[in-house]
Amino acid sequence: MTDESAQPQRNGTLRPTLEAVAELAGVSRATVSRVVNGGTGVRATLRDRVQRAVEELGYVPNQAARTLVTRRNDAVAVVVAEPESRVFSDPFFAQQLRGIGKELSAADSQLVLLLVEDSGDYQRVGRYLAGGHVDGALLFSLHQDDPLPAMAHRVGLPTVIGGRPWAATDRDQLYVDTDNRGGARLAVGHLAALGRRCIATITGPLDQTSAADRLDGYRDILPDGDPQLIAESDFTQEGGGRAMAELLARRPDLDAVFAASDLMASAALRVLREHGRRVPQDVAVVGFDDLESVAAWTDPPLTTVRQDIEDMGRLMARLLLRRLSHDGGADAARHSPASVITPTRLVVRATA
Amino acid sequence: MTDESAQPQRNGTLRPTLEAVAELAGVSRATVSRVVNGGTGVRATLRDRVQRAVEELGYVPNQAARTLVTRRNDAVAVVVAEPESRVFSDPFFAQQLRGIGKELSAADSQLVLLLVEDSGDYQRVGRYLAGGHVDGALLFSLHQDDPLPAMAHRVGLPTVIGGRPWAATDRDQLYVDTDNRGGARLAVGHLAALGRRCIATITGPLDQTSAADRLDGYRDILPDGDPQLIAESDFTQEGGGRAMAELLARRPDLDAVFAASDLMASAALRVLREHGRRVPQDVAVVGFDDLESVAAWTDPPLTTVRQDIEDMGRLMARLLLRRLSHDGGADAARHSPASVITPTRLVVRATA
DNA sequence: TCCATGACAGAGAGCGCTCTCACACGCTCT
DNA sequence: AGAGCGTGTGAGAGCGCTCTCTGTCATGGA
């Protein structure tokens, strides 16, 4: 019927436009637009007529056209920098993503996932962020000199960072982080309270703030500890196993280990067993993360520090959305949200 | 300098447009556009001049405007339906996503992740897919009566499905699946070859083709097996443990178990130990998936069926991109890609 | 009775980009 | 010398939508 004023579609059929709906309903484009966007200020009879036309034609607004004029995308980018490929296969991140997804979809925003595999990708991602595809960005697993926050700031894109960044590029750079230091204190304090005298730790990569903060927590409790009791590792099982073996070689007398991730703790458990140590009788072990598929399933079940990962993701999304909403307002600074540190708690199972 | 012909930006600064670049370079919009899109057919001197202007202004094309006229988004949706919240925290999916991300970014396409949490989300996602935000979609973890493939087909959006769908809505609906049946045959065949006589299986939820296919593979090897040896479960550790206990109660004489996922196998291992069975001496166990963080770290290390998960993701993306590229061509059908079944292989460790 | 008022509806100007078309120019071929 | 050609470049028409501005009509008060 209204063959003109409709856009060609991939499969050859025509996709209806505002124009087509307007024609069918016998009104102007403006009126259809009003109805589609809430329908206020349109008489009921007309509104119904338009709605029927929309229905009949199966009209769906073209987002590109809309974005072009409104400058809103209703989309948020999630950028994951993981040159080492590790971060992403980690259930940790998946859970955060879930929280983010829930929160964004509640706000009718889309989640655009950008993966940075190698350094060449930074350019691509930077272009994307600058290209106005998204209203804001959530940045993950940044390294010490990550260029992304600065890029985003340059193009004026609101961002929230997952995990405490090393340095704030921007006075009011928002971030959400776990209380890594407090959690580590909880873990090490627990070991000390059990009467353990020689408490070692396996750290994550110390160029990440989460790893550094957990080590700081360990030192808070053991300020005069032997540096031999600290083994730097990388949060993975392989690395954790190696670190455990090293610690045993350096200090065979150790009677407790705080591993800064559950994956490392699970590997430590195995290495301890291979070396004839009983857990927890000879050596007590505490992990960090409380990953569902790991902590409760080690043998014996792992005592660990729990963080509500999904909630962190949710929080990040909420922070960003809130910032977007009072964007530019005169009192933006006054009402603007602040960074959040989520609490941790100790989950005592059988290894300590 | 060129204060007009620039778009206002979130943070108050102006974002340069084609027009601004053209003015600065002293050429027309068309020429700038040509340079930005490859630069063919433009004299070198002019091209340089334009490129300098682009640089100086920090010009980035506005994607919405571009999409509006080209009807390409250079973006692909990945839709994950996971009402049960399980699928997503599964490392399985994360790995696939990685493969997809790599392949898409190589093609300069963006990955837009859509999560379907509850049935209300279907509408939102459907609207999004119909709204022309993306050039195609990758659909995951569909249930028997999932409306998404039909929705996508209706609006003419090319799709590739992850895992074999129950029924093809469309003659040439593409999908990528693991050789679940063959993998199961490998596993059960191995157990039989070891001389095991009473081989049980723990299945996934049988309304998913992957679970059903793995059970079929089991039956291929044991066509006359006792139905008592088959316990339906849900791919999770909790479910796997329950199923294992049930099997032991029904058939205490079982001497082998094929668990249709590594998570279930790891739980089975623990339950077997709790019941005083030695693995593999008393009961041999084979899993499925070869998840990095699980299979190699159980005690003893799990014999399992390996599938290249990341590669599956990569394949899906490639299939979709190829379909998009000869979209509409007269010989689309002739050259069009076909669905793919990726091979599996048995990884023998210590449990069988 | 006439004008001020408010509630709707329509006309039309862009948003920033791509792409077709027409034109200009320098060259070769007859 | 003139026609024909190929290569660059510019002008301009949209893509589908939103939003301001203007116009219309019914209502109520002076």
CB atoms B124 and A108 under 8 Å:
yes
Asked whether the beta carbons of B256 and B195 are under 8 A apart, the reply is no
How much is the pLDDT for A185?
Answer: 98
Return the number of other C-beta atoms located less than 10 Å from residue A118's C-beta: 11
- For residue A9, the model assigns a pLDDT of 44
User: In this model, does residue A135 exceed pLDDT 60?
Assistant: yes
| Closest-CA distance of chain A to residue B129, Å | 10
The rounded distance, in Å, linking the Cα atoms of A183 and A300 is 21
Among the listed residues A59, A135, A22, A126, the one whose alpha carbon sits nearest the alpha carbon of residue B132: A59
Residues A186 and A301 in one domain: yes
Residue B68 lies in a domain: no
The predicted model gives A216-228 an average pLDDT of: 96
Q: Is A300 left (phi over 0), alpha (psi -120 to 50) or beta?
A: beta
Same domain, B221 and B144: no
Domain end call among A39, A61, A83: A61
pLDDT value at position A7? 45
For A251-263, letters b (16+ CB in 10 Å) and e give eeebbbbbbbbbb
Closest residue by Cα to residue B180 from B162, B159, B198, B200: B162
Q: Where residue B229 sits, what CATH number does that domain have?
A: 3.40.50.2300
Contacts for A270-276 with beta carbons within 8 Å, 24 or more apart? A270/A241, A270/B297, A270/B299, A271/A241, A271/A244, A271/A245, A272/A244, A272/A248, A275/A245, A275/A248
Q: What percent of chain A has pLDDT over 70?
A: 88
Closest residue in A to B241 (Cα–Cα):
A297
B21 CA to D12 C1' distance (Å): 19
The answer to whether the CB of A248 falls within 8 A of the CB of A275 is yes
Give the nearest chain B residue to A93 (CA atoms): B89
State whether residue B80 is helix, strand or coil.
Answer: strand
Specify whether A37 is located in the same domain as A184. Answer: no
Question: Does the pLDDT value for residue B86 go beyond 90?
Answer: no
Q: Which residue has the higher pLDDT, B92 or B208?
A: B208
Percent of chain B residues topping a pLDDT of 90: 51
pLDDT of residue A349: 96
Give the DSSP per-residue string, B115-180: EE-STTHHHHHHHHHHTT--SEEEEES--TT-SHHHHHHHTT--EEEES--SS-SSTT-EEEEE-H
The DSSP annotation for A255-313 comes to -EEEESSHHHHHHHHHHHHHTT--TTTT-EEEEEE--HHHHTTSSSPPEEEEE-HHHHH
Do A10 and A24 reside in the same domain of the chain?
A: yes
Is there a domain that residue A338 lies in?
Answer: yes
Decide which of A336 and A65 is more confident.
A65
How confident is the model over A282-316, as pLDDT tens digits? 999 999 998 877 787 788 999 999 988 888 999 99
Residues A160 and A190 in one domain: no
User: How many distinct helices (H) and strands (E) make up chain A?
Assistant: 15, 14
Question: Of the candidates B95, B84, B137, which has an alpha carbon nearest to the alpha carbon of residue B112?
Answer: B137
Measured distance CA(A3)–CA(A57) in Å, rounded: 11
The token pair at B95 is: 């790995």
- pLDDT for residue A74: 86
Neighbours of B97 (CB within 10 A): 26
Same-domain status, A26 and A119? no
Does A172 lie in the same domain as A25?
no
In angstroms, how far is D28 C1' from A207 CA?
Answer: 75
Could you report the per-residue pLDDT of B274-308, keeping only the tens digit for each? Answer: 999 999 999 999 999 988 777 877 889 999 999 88
**Which of B297, B299, B325 would best serve as a mutation to test chain A binding (most A beta carbons within 10 A)?**
B297
Average pLDDT over residues B259-281: 94
Domain check: are B205 and B299 in the same one? yes
Q: State residue B303's pLDDT score.
A: 97
| C1' of nucleotide C7: residue with nearest CA | A41
CATH, residue A25: 1.10.260.40
Q: Examine the pLDDT at A10 and tell me if it is beyond 50.
A: no
Pairing of strands A14-16, A6-8: antiparallel
B110 shares a domain with B50: no
Do A233 and A142 reside in the same domain of the chain? no
In a domain, B298, yes or no: yes
φ, ψ dihedrals at A205, nearest 5°: -65, 125
pLDDT of amino acid B329? 46
Is A253 in the same domain as A234? yes
pLDDT > 60? residue A89: no
Q: Is residue B191 part of a domain?
A: yes
Residue B30, pLDDT > 70, answer: yes
- Nearest nt to the B71 alpha carbon by C1': D15
Cα–Cα distance measured from residue B107 to residue B3, given in angstroms and rounded to the nearest whole number: 35
Helix (H, G, I), strand (E, B) or coil at A114: strand
Mean per-residue pLDDT of chain A: 86
Show the domain range for B42.
6-61
Task: Let me know if residue B247 belongs to a domain.
Answer: yes
Confidence (pLDDT) at A148: 86
Q: Which residues of B touch A8 (CB under 8 A)?
A: 71
Distance, CA of B196 to CA of B256 (rounded, Å): 6
Q: Which residue has the higher pLDDT, A295 or B272?
A: B272
Taking CA atoms, what residue in A is nearest to B326?
Answer: A10
pLDDT, tens only, B172-211? 789 999 999 999 999 999 999 999 999 999 999 998 899 9
pLDDT band at A94 (very low <50, low <70, confident <90, very high): confident
pLDDT at A326: 63
Quote the number of domains for chain B.
Answer: 3
Are A266 and B60 within 8 A, CB to CB?
Answer: no
Q: What is the structure's pLDDT at B122?
A: 83
What's the CA gap between B46 and B55, in Å, rounded? 14
d(CA A238, CA A245): 11
Last residue of one domain, picked from the residues B34, B61, B88: B61
Residue A103 carries which side chain, given as an amino acid letter?
Answer: E
> Is there a single domain that holds both residue B332 and residue B245?
no
Footprint of strand D on the protein (CB under 7 A): A 5-7, 15, 17-19, 29-30, 33, 36-37, 59, 61-62, 65-66, 68-70; B 26-31, 34, 41-43, 45-46, 65, 68-69
pLDDT 10s digits, A34-62:
999 887 888 888 899 999 999 999 898 99
Is there a domain that residue A351 lies in?
no
Question: Of the segments A319-323, B101-105, B237-241, B247-251, which one has the largest average pLDDT value?
Answer: B247-251
In angstroms, the CA A334 to CA A340 distance is: 17
